[in-house]
């Protein structure tokens, strides 16, 4: 597929730290977050004007799902817009907490693990061609995903029985299967969920649950762009080498513990490759593919950055200390340890690790580094600010976002999901859009005009369905 729909679902960690005996349940803090958005029966499940969805997930985690986007750049911009939206909601929730006279600190983290070992996810979604056999696609993709963490990992200080380790990935320690249907127990590299929210005859949704949440725009872009080009090669039958790992679940953990990225992994055919070598094989195939096939400019840029990253990891990983999350964080921790004369097992190190992921720009360590020019930017604040309220203009999200604005302006009752819009007092007027590339907002605008002219309480409309 040369045109593809992308999406990311990010689950955030949330902590309230009281400053006295009186405390506040996290559940109540989350309700304060949602209170500013809307007050309806769908209190903890809201679609936003930018086309995204914001809701409470299992385990008291606020979750933001980006709108459908048609490029890696847009996906990263809308993912970061979600951080900005949540940051604003956090300010509101903190004010509500003060009104409750509960002294303390509310913190929200874009990470994947808490202090007691629980994990919450960052789930990537890619629209793929239904004609490609799912299990063939998964087997071709898994070696790439297992080894991709060498540039896509967020970094994590882990306390284990044999000491403290700095690991490349947070999520790797919580993966137990290659492929499964669950996202909370026995988590897998690829999830079998088949909810394309689109024409099921043409598309399926590839649900990747193995990746870390990333703070770095650069890391996020390369993570998505490289996966997209590998998917395109698989769909076109271009990959002609077998990198099936003998023990992929064990490999994903072993790689995370090896910051050199050079420890050998055994393939099913008996050969041994390092993670860098496996990634380089995929990358070189992608470069050849770009020479002979039509590939978007963004994916070609992703391949060039991929080559640079692998060369740097092979020779001097510190070249990536403004680009790749786990390298940026490692530099931060090393500097602090050297400056203060600490050991890796000092509690302050674990706190700095966590604080790297704080979404508050005035106190999150990643954002402090970014303002100091020590973390590379790809996008402007203006682009991210616009994405908070404006949906992508080249996907179905445009219809959803524009409708939400019109409905709110005209006090029209509505309900919706990814593929349907229902409106009217009885929610009996419906717009269906099974084409995620559909952008025709005129039909939605015309429908709103009709409703404005017609008092639905007196109309005899029983059911209106507009198919697109």
As a whole-number percent, the residues of the chain with pLDDT over 90 amount to 74
Predicted confidence (pLDDT) at residue 104 exceeds the cutoff of 60: yes
The mean pLDDT value for 385-389 works out to 98
No. of helices (H) and no. of strands (E), the chain = 13, 18
More reliable by pLDDT, 265 or 434:
265
**C-alpha span between 465 and 450 (Å, rounded):** 14
Poorest-pLDDT segment among 18-22, 313-317, 461-465? 461-465
Q: Which are the catalytic amino acids?
A: 57
Predicted confidence (pLDDT) at residue 461 exceeds the cutoff of 60: no
**C-alpha span between 332 and 336 (Å, rounded):** 6
Q: Do strands 156-160 and 122-129 pair parallel, antiparallel, or not at all (unpaired)?
A: unpaired
Poorest-pLDDT segment among 193-197, 437-441, 443-447? 443-447
- Which positions ≥6 away from 10 have C-beta within 8 Å? 63, 64, 65, 79, 82, 110, 122, 213
More reliable by pLDDT, 464 or 451:
451
- Which positions ≥6 away from 389 have C-beta within 8 Å? 49, 50
Q: List the structure tokens of 86.
A: 């949540």
Classified as helix, coil or strand, 129 is: strand
Residue 296's pLDDT is what?
Answer: 97
Contact assessment for residue 148 and residue 208, using Cβ atoms and an 8 Å cutoff: no
Q: What is the DSSP string of 210-248?
A: -PPP---HHHHHHHHHHHHHHHHHHHTT-------BSSH
As a whole-number percent, the residues of the chain with pLDDT over 70 amount to 93
**C-alpha span between 340 and 314 (Å, rounded):** 30
Residue 272: which H helix or E strand, with range? strand 272-273
Residue 312's pLDDT is what?
Answer: 98
Contact assessment for residue 68 and residue 396, using Cβ atoms and an 8 Å cutoff: yes
Q: What pTM, to 2 d.p., does this model score?
A: 0.94
The beta-strand segments (E) located in 259-385 are: 265-266, 272-273
Contact assessment for residue 175 and residue 163, using Cβ atoms and an 8 Å cutoff: no
**C-alpha span between 381 and 388 (Å, rounded):** 11
Q: What is the DSSP string of 383-443?
A: HHHHHTTS--TTSTHHHHHHHHHHHHHTT--EEE-SSEEEESTTS-EEEE---TT----HH
Burial class (CB in 10 A: 0-12, 13-18, 19+), 428: middle
Residue 193's pLDDT is what?
Answer: 84
Poorest-pLDDT segment among 101-105, 213-217, 250-254, 438-442? 438-442
Poorest-pLDDT segment among 157-166, 259-268, 441-450, 452-461? 452-461
**What is the set of domains in the chain, with CATH numbers?**
6-386 (3.30.590), 396-467 (no CATH)
Greatest mean pLDDT among 205-214, 396-405, 453-462 lies in: 205-214
CA 64 to chain centre: 8
Predicted confidence (pLDDT) at residue 106 exceeds the cutoff of 60: yes
Residue 177: which H helix or E strand, with range? strand 177-180
Poorest-pLDDT segment among 48-57, 97-106, 185-194, 337-346? 185-194
**C-alpha span between 401 and 405 (Å, rounded):** 6
Comparing CA positions, the residue from 41, 278, 63 lying closest to residue 150 is 278
Q: How many CA atoms lie within 13 A of 218 on its CB side?
A: 21
Classified as helix, coil or strand, 453 is: helix
Comparing CA positions, the residue from 106, 86, 85 lying closest to residue 97 is 106
Residue 38's pLDDT is what?
Answer: 65
Contact assessment for residue 119 and residue 187, using Cβ atoms and an 8 Å cutoff: yes
Residue 273: which H helix or E strand, with range? strand 272-273
**C-alpha span between 52 and 397 (Å, rounded):** 8
Residue 180's pLDDT is what?
Answer: 84
Classified as helix, coil or strand, 188 is: strand
Predicted confidence (pLDDT) at residue 459 exceeds the cutoff of 60: no
The mean pLDDT value of the chain amounts to 91
More reliable by pLDDT, 383 or 415:
383
Match 């956090």 to its residue by tokens.
90
Comparing CA positions, the residue from 10, 220, 217 lying closest to residue 112 is 10
């Amino acid at each position: 597929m040369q045109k593809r729909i992308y999406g990311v679902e990010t689950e955030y960690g949330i902590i309230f730290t009281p400053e006295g005996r009186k405390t506040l349940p996290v559940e109540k803090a989350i309700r304060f977050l949602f209170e500013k958005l809307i007050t309806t029966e769908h209190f903890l499940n809201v679609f936003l004007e930018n086309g995204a969805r914001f809701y409470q997930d299992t385990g008291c985690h606020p979750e933001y799902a980006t709108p459908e986007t048609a490029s890696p750049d847009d996906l990263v911009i809308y993912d970061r817009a979600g951080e900005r939206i949540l940051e604003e909601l956090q300010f509101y929730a903190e004010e509500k907490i003060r009104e409750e006279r509960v002294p303390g600190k509310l913190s929200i983290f874009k990470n994947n693990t808490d202090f007691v070992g629980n994990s919450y996810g960052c789930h990537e979604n890619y629209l793929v061609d239904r004609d490609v056999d799912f299990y063939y696609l998964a087997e071709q993709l898994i070696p790439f995903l297992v080894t991709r963490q060498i540039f896509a990992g967020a970094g994590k200080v882990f306390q284990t029985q044999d000491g403290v380790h700095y690991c490349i990935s947070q999520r790797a320690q919580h993966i137990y299967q290659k492929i499964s249907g669950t996202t909370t127990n026995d988590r897998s590299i690829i999830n079998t969920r088949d909810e394309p929210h689109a024409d099921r005859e043409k598309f399926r949704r590839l649900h990747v649950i193995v990746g870390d949440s990333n703070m770095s725009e650069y890391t996020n872009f390369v993570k998505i762009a490289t996966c997209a080009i590998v998917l395109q090669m698989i769909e076109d039958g271009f990959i002609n080498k077998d990198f099936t790992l003998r023990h992929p679940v064990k490999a994903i953990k072993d790689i995370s513990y090896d910051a050199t990225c050079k420890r050998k992994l055994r393939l099913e055919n008996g050969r041994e490759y390092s993670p860098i070598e496996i990634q380089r094989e995929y990358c070189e195939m992608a470069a050849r593919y770009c020479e002979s096939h039509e590939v978007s400019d963004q994916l070609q840029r992703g391949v060039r950055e991929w080559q640079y990253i692998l060369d740097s990891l092979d020779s001097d990983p510190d070249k990536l200390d403004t680009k790749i999350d786990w390298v940026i964080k490692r530099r931060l921790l090393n500097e602090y340890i050297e400056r203060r004369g600490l050991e890796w097992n000092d509690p302050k190190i674990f706190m700095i690790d966590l604080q790297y992921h704080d979404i508050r720009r005035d106190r999150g360590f990643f954002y402090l580094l970014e303002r100091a020019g020590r973390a590379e930017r790809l996008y402007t604040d203006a682009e991210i600010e616009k994405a908070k309220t404006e949906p992508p203009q080249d996907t179905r999200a445009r219809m959803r976002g524009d409708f939400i604005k019109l409905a709110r302006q005209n006090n029209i009752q509505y309900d919706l999901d990814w593929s349907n819009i229902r409106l009217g007092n009885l929610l009996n007027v419906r717009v269906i859009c099974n084409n995620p590339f559909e952008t025709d907002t005129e039909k939605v605008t015309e429908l709103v005009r009709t409703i404005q002219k017609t008092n639905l309480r007196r109309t005899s409309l029983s059911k209106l369905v507009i198919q697109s």
